[in-house]
Chain A
């Protein structure tokens, strides 16, 4: 049990809640990576941690350092922005790469043809 910074009680409770909540959401996402049945379903799991999990933990960190140093310290916004922009790129690339591979190999994991567009 190592130490923690000395914060006022309200800030400590707020930061604690945000940290545990974010970590829990991230854990659920990663468990989904393990529990979901096939690759395309697993693609949905990491975005849990990358959106709400990252958001909650980074806001917690921002609150903590802003209270600690007595001035707004929001450079964690950069990490949040960066993760929000990059995660979709990797997931989209992975989805299309995997679709291409499944089609080349003739797996039944992906449909051989695009499904017909749903009309309203």
Chain B
């Protein structure tokens, strides 16, 4: 077990890199498998040198639920932002900055939250202050900032804390 840890420090990363290699090569031949495994091993060892903080994916079910939720929200907010862009002048001038307090502290959780908020059109992560745990956002349709806080905290933050903490 210890030897395995030393040879293969990040098994999930290894599998992901190997899958990426095979997708890129578009084949499953033995040669490509070998080359891909070598490249993935190199990538894993490089990660050892970078020494990232440990992370465990604890609840796959919660992660799947989060993915489904994000997928739905991206679709919905695309429609909302599309209607704002094509709508008349006064709908386009409600944009503004807002802040909210976050309870999430895990760096991976925060990274995922940043990707989610930036990928859904309509909300844009501007900066996060880790010492005060305050996140500053720019929102395109800032009519009710409490509603946005509630959405972010209930829809994403709870699940992310469940997954990463």
A residues lining the B interface (CB < 8 Å): 25, 28-29, 31-32, 35-38, 40-41, 43-45, 47-48, 50-52, 73-75, 77-78, 84-85, 87-88, 91-92, 95-96, 99, 110-111, 114-120
Q: A117-B101, A118-B149, A120-B149 are in contact. Are A95 and B26 (CB under 8 A)?
A: no
Interface bin, chain B: 35 or more
A-B CB contact pairs (8 Å), 27 listed: A36-B85, A37-B95, A38-B95, A40-B95, A41-B140, A44-B140, A45-B85, A47-B120, A47-B121, A48-B82, A48-B85, A51-B74, A51-B119, A78-B23, A88-B114, A88-B115, A88-B118, A91-B124, A92-B125, A92-B126, A95-B138, A99-B127, A117-B99, A118-B100, A118-B145, A118-B149, A120-B150
Which residues of A are found within 8 Å of B150, using beta-carbon distances?
120
Distance between B32 CB and nearest chain A CB, rounded to angstroms: 13
Q: A37-B93, A92-B125, A115-B99 are in contact. List 6 more A-B contacts (CB 8 A).
A: A29-B121, A36-B95, A51-B121, A75-B23, A91-B118, A118-B148
Distance between A115 CB and nearest chain B CB, rounded to angstroms: 5
B residues lining the A interface (CB < 8 Å): 20, 23-24, 26, 74-75, 78, 81-82, 84-86, 92-93, 95, 97-101, 114-115, 118-127, 129, 134, 136, 138, 140, 145-146, 148-150, 153
Docked complex Cα distance between A43 and B126 (Å): 11
Which residues of B are found within 8 Å of A50, using beta-carbon distances?
119
Tell me whether B134 and A114 are in contact (CB under 8 A). yes
Contact of A116 among B84, B99, B146 (CB under 8 A): B99
Q: A40-B138, A52-B75, A88-B114 are in contact. Are A32 and B125 (CB under 8 A)?
A: no
Q: A32-B81, A92-B125, A95-B125 are in contact. Are A115 and B23 (CB under 8 A)?
A: no
Which residues of B are found within 8 Å of A41, using beta-carbon distances?
92, 95, 140
Interface SS majority for chain A: helix
Docked complex Cα distance between A6 and B100 (Å): 53
Tell me whether B126 and A44 are in contact (CB under 8 A). no
Distance between A103 CB and nearest chain B CB, rounded to angstroms: 11
Q: A88-B114, A91-B118, A117-B100 are in contact. Are A74 and B23 (CB under 8 A)?
A: yes
Kindly list the 7 A-B residue pairs having the minimum CB-CB distance in the complex, ordered from nearest: A88-B118, A32-B85, A117-B99, A41-B95, A52-B78, A47-B121, A44-B140
Can you name the residue of chain A whose Cβ is closest to the Cβ of B93? A37
